[in-house]
Amino acid sequence: GPRKPLLEDGPPSDAGLGRRPPSHCDSMRITAFLDIPGQDNLTPLARLEKYAFSDNIFNRQIIARGLLDVFRDFSNNEEDFLTVMEIVVRLSEDAEPTVRTELMEQIPPIAIFLQESRPKFPTAFFEYLMPIVVRYLTDVNNQVRKAGQEALLILLEQDLIAQSDIENKVCPILLDLSAPDSDDEYKVEAVNIICKMASMLSRTTVEQMLLPRFCELCSDGKLFQVRKICAANFGDICNAVGQEATERLLIPKFFELCSDSVWGMRKACAECFMAVSYTTSPEVRRSKLSPLFISLISDTCRWVRQAAFQSLGPFISTFANPSSAGLYIREDGSLSIRPLMQDVNSNSCQLSNNITLMPSSTNATLPSKDTQEESSDCCTSPGEDVSRLSQGDRVAAGVIEVTKDSSFPGMNSRLQSAEDVFNTFLYWRPPLPDISQDLELLQFKTEKHKDSCSVPCNNCVASSEIKKVLESLQEHIDDPDVQAQVQVLSAALRAAQFDSVGDCEAKKLEESSGKLQPKTTSDEVVVSGGTCSQAEEDTLSSPASQDDTRDLSASGAQSSTVSDIIPQPLLDQYLSMTDPARAQTVDTEIAKHCAYSLPGVALTLGRQNWHCLKDTYETLASDVQWKVRRTLAFSIHELAVILGDQLTAADLVPIFNGFLKDLDEVRIGVLKHLYDFLKLLHADKRREYLYQLQEFVVTDNSRNWRFRYELAEQLILILELYNPNDVYDYLRHIALTLCSDKVSEVRWISFKLVGDSVHLLFYANNANALGLNFINELVVRFRHCSKWVGRQAFAFICQAAVEEECMPVDQFVEHLLPSLLSLASDPVPNVRVLLAKALRQTLLEKAYFKSVGNPHLEAAEETVLALQSDRDQDVSFFATIKLKQGNVDSTAIEKHN
C-alpha cells in the first residue's frame, strides 16, 4: 500500500505524544517529505510552515527536531532563509513545552551551522536565536529551562556568543535570577549556571560581573542548596578570578563555608580544597589554609573527615617546589627530574624521564580508584595547574603536558588563554638559564683532579673551578633567576660532595660560594641535595636551621627541615592514614587513599626526605587489602623516577619483587609499566629480571588474556633494554609461547614482538647467527605446524618481516620466501588468504621484487596467479585485488573464517 507520511494532519495517536521517535531518522526524512510534489499543491517552504503550526503536537515536535536540516536546505536563498528564521521564532513561542524543548536542543548545532555560513548571514544568530536562549532561562517549564541552560553552556564552551551578548544579555538575567528576592528554584538554577560558566568567560568578566554576586550567594542564609553549590564549585571560581581576587574576596567566604553548620557544606569544601590551594600564594597556603584543613580533618562529622583525608595527599602536593624536589620544566612543557651530581657521576641518565600530569575530573569527588589506576595511578606532580587544560592540550611557555584520564579531584578542565592560566604558583619562577654545560665542565675537572687530590674522595672538585662558575654569575647576581641558579649550583655541589671534600677544600668552597648567596625565607624550599640519611641532614643543617626564617649559611648550603616544606601537622595526619584505627573511625579505604597520593607527597618532600615516607610506603606495600597494593603497583615506576636509581635499588626493588609474585590484580600494575620501571635500573640489576619475565606468562586465571596481551606490548618496548644474547636466550621463548596463545588478539600482537626481535638480532652487532637460528626456528615451529593457526601465523610473520624491514631482504628470500610460497598448496583457505594478502599487499609492492630480472619475482608472481584461480572466493579475491594497507584487518579475517 501507499507509504504513510511522517507528518499527519489528523489527530495524534495514543503513542504520538510523550514519545520521541529516533531523531536522526526523522530529521533525515523531514526535508525529503517537504520536497514531495503534488501532495497538497504547496511549495516546500509553505508546507514547512503548515506543519510547524499544525494542530497535531507530534508534527510540531518533528519540525522542531529537524530544524538543522531545514536550515541547510533553505539557506541558499536569503528570502527563504529569513522566512525559516521567522518560523523558528514563532515556533519558539509554542504553548507545548515539549516543542520548545525540542527546539532549544537544536539551537547549538544550528548556531555552529550559522557560524560556518556567517558571510551570508552574519547577524542571524544574534538577532533571532540568542534572544530565544535568554528567554528560555526564565521559562515557566523546568524542562524547557534545563534545555536552555544546557544550550547556553554549549554555546559558551564553543565560543559562539559574542562578548557584548554575554555582558548585556546573559549576565544581567543570571544576576536577576540569583538576586536575594528571586524565586528559590530559579536562584538555585542561576547559581549553578554562574559556577559552570565562570571557567568559560574572561577573568575580567567574571571578576567584575559575577564575583560579587557569588560572594553574596556563599552567605545565603535562606537556602543551604545555594551555599552547597557555591562550596562544590569554589575551586573553579578561584581559578577563574586568580590569586589576588581569591585571597582578597574568596578566602574569607571559604572560611565561612568550612565552618557552616550543615555538614554537607564542610564536606564539599574539603573535596575542593586542593583546587582552592592552587590559586593562593605560599604564604596564604601555609598560614591560613593549612590550619583550616586541620579543622576539617578533625571535624565532628565522619563524612567530612573522610572527604578531608581523601584530599589530604593532593593538598600536601600543592606545597611542592621544584628546587626541593629536584624538578624543572622542559621547553616542551614536560616535567622532568634534574640529575643530581651523584647521578651524573654514575653515568645515570634515567632521572631525566618525564613525569606527565593528568587532567582532572570536573567532579568534585574522588573518581573511581580502579579508573585512576588504569590510567596514571598516582597522585603525580603537584606543582602545576592543569585545571584549564582539556585532554591532549597544553598551554605554551612552561605548562606541563596533559594526557589522558584523571589524577586529582575537583579540577576543571577548560582550556583558557595563557593570560588567564598564569599564576605565580603555576610557574613558580621564570625559566632558569641552562647550567648543564657548567655541571659537565665541573664533572670533567673532577675526574682530572681526582688522582692529584690528597684526600681520598669520589667527587673531589678544586675550589678554583667552582669559583670560576660562581664568579661568572657574579655580575648578574641581582637577577632573581641567577640567585636561584647560584643556590642550585652551590647547594647541590656541597650536598653531593660534603663527605668527600677535605676540610681545607670545603672551607674554600664555603668562602667562594657564601659571598654570592642571596637570603631566602622559609617559603623558598630547600634545594635538593640528593639522598641523605637523617644523620647527614643534621650534619648539613646550620645552627640557624631551627629558626622560622632561614638564611643561607656561609657555606652556601641552604638548610631546612621537613616542616619547611610541608606543615608538620599535615604530614603527621598523612602518616597516620596507615593506622588501623583510622579505618575504623574515618574510612575503611583510607589506606588506599594514602597509597594513591603517596607519589605526590614524595615529590613534594623531595628525595632527600624520603626517609619520612619509607616506613609508610612499606606498610602500604604489605597491606592485607589487595586494592592498596594494586594502587602502589600502578605508581611504583613514577616513584622510581622521583627517588632516583640509588633509592630505587635500595627501597623500591624489594617491593617491586614482591608485587611480581602477588595476585594478578596487583601484578597487572607493575606489568603495565614494566618497561618504565626496568629502564630506570642499572644494567646488572635489570638482567636479574630476565628469568622472572617468563613468570608473567602464567596467570591466576588462564582466561585473563588481556594480561598476556599487556605482556607482549611491554616486551616490545623492553627489547631495547637487553643485548641480543639476552633477547635470544630469554625473551625469544616468551615471544614464541605468546604466538601460540589460544586468544587471537594475543597472537597478533605477539607476531609484532617476534618481528621486532628478529630485527634486533639481525641488525645488532655480530648477532646475525642468532637471527638465522631464530628464523629457522620459526620455519620449524610455524610453517610445519600441524595446526592451521600456526601456518597462518607463519604467513603473517613473513608479511610483517617484509613490511617492517625486520631483516635484510637477501636473508628473507633465502630463508623464508620458499617456505612462504609453499603455503599456496595448504589445504586450509584461511592460510591461503593470508598468503595472498602477504604477496599482493606487501612483497610485490617492495622495490626489490619490482626490479627487472629478479630471480624471485617469477616464483612470487606464479604463486599469485595460482591463488587467483583458487577454489575459495576469499583467496581469489585477495590474490586479485590490491588493497591499501590496513583496509582489511587480519584479525577480522581469522575470526570470520
Q: Sort 320 into a burial class: Cβ within 10 Å, 0-12 / 13-18 / 19+.
A: buried
Q: Residue 573 above 60 pLDDT? A: yes
CA–CA dist 127, 107 (Å, integer)? 13
Residue 862: all three cell numbers together? 606464479
Q: What is the pLDDT of residues 180-231, one digit of tens each?
A: 888 999 999 999 999 999 999 999 999 999 999 999 999 988 889 999 999 9
Pick the residue with more confidence: 455 or 177? 177
Q: Under a CB-based contact definition with an 8 Å cutoff, are residues 143 and 152 in contact? A: no
Distance, in Å, from the CA atom of 132 to the CA atom of 100, rounded to the nearest integer, reads 10
For residues 88-98, average pLDDT = 92
In this prediction, residue 148 carries a pLDDT of 94
Q: How far apart are CA 488 and CA 556, in angstroms?
A: 10
Contacts of 746 (CB under 8 A, 6+ apart): 705, 708, 709, 712, 738
541-548 average pLDDT score = 34
Q: At what angle do helices 664-672 and 705-718 cross, to 10 degrees?
A: 30
Mean pLDDT of the residues in the chain: 74
Alpha helices in 158-299 (DSSP H): 163-165, 171-177, 184-197, 203-205, 211-218, 224-232, 234-241, 243-245, 251-258, 263-271, 273-278, 282-284, 290-297
pLDDT of 771 over the 50 cut: yes
Q: Which residue has the higher pLDDT, 878 or 119?
A: 878
pLDDT band at 879 (very low <50, low <70, confident <90, very high): confident
Residue-level pLDDT at 874: 87
- Under DSSP, the state recorded for 357 is B
Instruction: Give 722's contacts (C-beta < 8 A, 6+ positions apart).
Output: 686, 687, 690, 730, 731
Taking the alpha carbons at both ends of the chain, their separation in whole angstroms is 42
Q: Read off the pLDDT of each residue in 306-311 and give the average, rounded to a whole number.
A: 94
Q: Give the tens place of pLDDT for each residue, 199-210.
A: 999 999 999 999
Of 325, 313, 321, 337, the residue nearest 609 (C-alpha): 325
Contact 133, 104 (CB under 8 A): yes
pLDDT tens string 112-159: 998 887 777 888 888 899 999 999 999 999 999 999 999 999 999 989
Nearby residues of 99 by Cβ (< 8 Å), 6 or more positions away: 57, 60, 61, 64, 91
- Residue 452 has phi, psi (to 5 degrees) of -90, -5
Q: How far apart are CA 41 and CA 60, in angstroms?
A: 20
Helix then strand count (H, E) for the chain reads 56, 3
CA atoms within 13 A on the CB side of 122: 1
Cβ burial, residue 106 (10 Å; 0-12/13-18/19+): buried
Instruction: Give me the sheet containing 335-337, strands edge to edge.
Output: 327-329, 335-337, 354-355
Burial class (CB in 10 A: 0-12, 13-18, 19+), 93: exposed
pLDDT at 726 (0 to 100) = 92
Decide if 760 contacts 719 (C-beta within 8 A). Answer: yes
533 Rama sector, left if φ>0, alpha if ψ -120 to 50, beta otherwise: beta
Grid cell listed for 724: 641480543
> Which of 83-87, 214-218, 405-409, 464-468 is least confident?
405-409
Listed range (34-48, 239-253, 582-596, 866-880) with the worst mean pLDDT: 34-48
Angle at 48 between CA 43 and CA 54, to 5 degrees: 125
What pLDDT is recorded for position 535? 36
Q: Look at residues 789, 892, 881 and name the one whose alpha carbon lies nearest to residue 844.
A: 881
Per-residue confidence band for 328, with pLDDT thresholds at 50, 70 and 90 = very low
Cβ count near 296 (within 10 Å): 23
User: What are all long-range contacts of 816-820, with beta carbons under 8 Å and residues at least 24 apart?
Assistant: 816/775, 816/778, 816/779, 817/856, 817/859, 817/860, 819/779, 819/783, 819/794, 820/783, 820/794, 820/795
CA distance 475 to 483: 11
CA distance 818 to 76: 64
SS (HEC) of 416-451 = CCHHHHCCHHHHCCCCCCCCHHHHHHHHHHHHHHHC
Query: Among the listed ranges 36-45, 100-109, 661-670, which one has the minimum average pLDDT value?
Result: 36-45
CA 509 to chain centre: 44
pLDDT exceeds 60 at position 448: no
Find where cell 585512576 sits: 372
Contact 143, 183 (CB under 8 A): no
Residue 335 has pLDDT above 70, yes or no: no
515 has a pLDDT exceeding 80:
no
Q: Residue 541 to residues 485, 498, 554, 649: CA-CA distances in angstroms? A: 21, 12, 12, 27
* Signed CA dihedral, 234, 263, 364, 136: sign only: negative
pLDDT exceeds cutoff 70 at 306: yes
Tally of CB atoms within 10 A around 390: 12
* Strands 335-337 and 327-329, sheet pairing: antiparallel
| Phi, psi values for residue 122, rounded to 5° | -65, -25
The alpha carbons of the chain give a radius of gyration, in whole angstroms, of: 34
HSE (side-chain half, CA atoms, 13 Å) at 40: 16
Give the pLDDT score at 656. Answer: 94
Helix (H/G/I), strand (E/B), else coil: 84:
helix
pLDDT surpasses 70 at 277: yes
Q: How confident is the model at residue 432 (pLDDT cuts 50, 70, 90)?
A: very low
Give the pLDDT score at 337. Answer: 53
DSSP E strand stretches across 70-176: none
| Residue 518 pLDDT grade (very low, low, confident, very high; cuts 50, 70, 90) | very low
Instruction: Specify which residues 328 forms β-bridges with.
Output: 336
Dist CA 634 CA 72 (whole Å): 50
State yes or no: pLDDT of 308 exceeds 70.
yes
**How does residue 713 score in pLDDT terms, banded at 50, 70 and 90?**
very high
Q: Read off the DSSP letter of residue 649.
A: I
DSSP character string of 14-58 = TTTSS----HHHHHHHHHHHHT-TTSSS--HHHHHHHHHT-S-HH
Number of C-beta neighbours around residue 777 at 10 A: 12
Q: How far apart are CA 18 and CA 581, in angstroms?
A: 54
pLDDT in tens, 677-707: 999 999 988 998 988 888 888 877 777 899 9
List 329's β-bridge partners, or say none.
335
List Cβ neighbours of 789 (8 Å cut-off, separation of 6 or more).
747, 894
Which residues fall within 8 angstroms of residue 420, CB to CB, at 6 or more apart?
202, 203, 388
Mean pLDDT across the stretch 564-590?
Answer: 91
Share of the chain above pLDDT 70, in %: 67
Label residue 541 by pLDDT band (50, 70, 90).
very low
Measure Cα distances from 213 to 156, 196, 216, 226 in Å: 20, 14, 5, 12
Q: Quick one: 654 exposed, middle or buried, by C-beta within 10 A (0-12, 13-18, 19+)?
A: exposed
The whole-angstrom separation of Cα 769 and Cα 576 is: 59
Q: Full-prediction pTM beyond 0.75? A: no
Regarding beta strands 354-355 and 335-337, do their DSSP bridges make them parallel or antiparallel, or are they unpaired? antiparallel
Q: Which residues touch 708 (CB under 8 Å, ≥6 apart)?
A: 696, 697, 699, 738, 741, 743, 746
Provide mean pLDDT across the span 363-387.
38
| H or E stretch covering 354 | strand 354-355
Residues near 318 by Cβ (< 8 Å), separated by ≥ 6? Answer: 274, 277, 278, 285, 382, 383, 425
CB atoms within 10 A of CB 321: 23
> Looking at residue 364, what is its pLDDT?
34
Q: Residue 479 — pLDDT band, cuts 50, 70, 90?
A: low
Residue 555's closest CA among 539, 533, 532? 539
3's grid cell = 507509504
